[in-house]
């Protein structure tokens, strides 16, 4: 049985994601970490990030946890089956954000530990920051 994401690990994921964003010159980000049950472990919003970045980052990560695939895969599903994503979004109370930046977190054995959601730059850069944070703590990010 795998360990859960601890608060310390969640904070390290966020710090590494923000470090990657700084090195890459990204816009101010919001980064959050959810546990495997979709519950908030940690969140930070950089100075200058707009006020709805929390909701967007959460929608990316929460959708990934809820549907069991990264938000990049959800975007592909939305493009192929818009009706399904619309229906799922209804079940999610309108909180689903099906664009890259929501990354599942797995351990080395493939067990789901949680998800990271990032918002503030392009969706591709949001995903890049999330992956950097996850990899920095020795875990595996899943985008698709």
pLDDT in tens, 28-42: 999 999 999 999 999
For residue 2, tell me if it sits in a domain: no
Give me the residues of the chain with pLDDT under 70, please: 1-2
* pLDDT in the model for residue 2: 58
Instruction: Give the residues across from 33 on adjacent strands.
Output: 42, 116
* Number of folded domains that form the chain: 1
Q: What is the CATH number of the domain that holds 127?
A: 3.30.450.150
The boundaries of the domain holding residue 86 are 7-142
Among the listed residues 42, 46, 47, 21, the one whose alpha carbon sits nearest the alpha carbon of residue 125: 21
Q: Report DSSP letters for 5-35, one per residue.
A: PPHHHHHHHHHHHHHHHHHHTPPP-EEEEEE
For residue 1, tell me if it sits in a domain: no
For residue 108, tell me if it sits in a domain: yes
């Amino acid at each position: 049985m795998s360990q859960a994401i601890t608060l310390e690990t969640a904070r390290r994921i966020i710090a590494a994601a923000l470090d990657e964003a700084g090195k890459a010159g990204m816009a101010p980000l919001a980064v959050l970490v959810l546990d495997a049950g979709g519950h908030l472990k940690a969140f930070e919003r950089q100075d200058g990030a707009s006020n709805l970045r929390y909701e967007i980052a959460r929608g990316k990560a929460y959708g990934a946890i809820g549907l069991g695939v990264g938000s990049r895969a959800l975007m592909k599903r939305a493009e192929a089956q818009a009706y399904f994503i619309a229906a799922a979004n209804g079940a999610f109370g309108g909180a689903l954000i099906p664009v890259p930046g929501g990354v599942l977190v797995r351990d080395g054995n493939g067990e789901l530990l949680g998800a990271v959601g990032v918002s503030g730059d392009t969706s591709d850069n949001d995903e890049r920051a999330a992956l950097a944070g996850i990899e920095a703590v020795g875990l595996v990010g899943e985008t698709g």
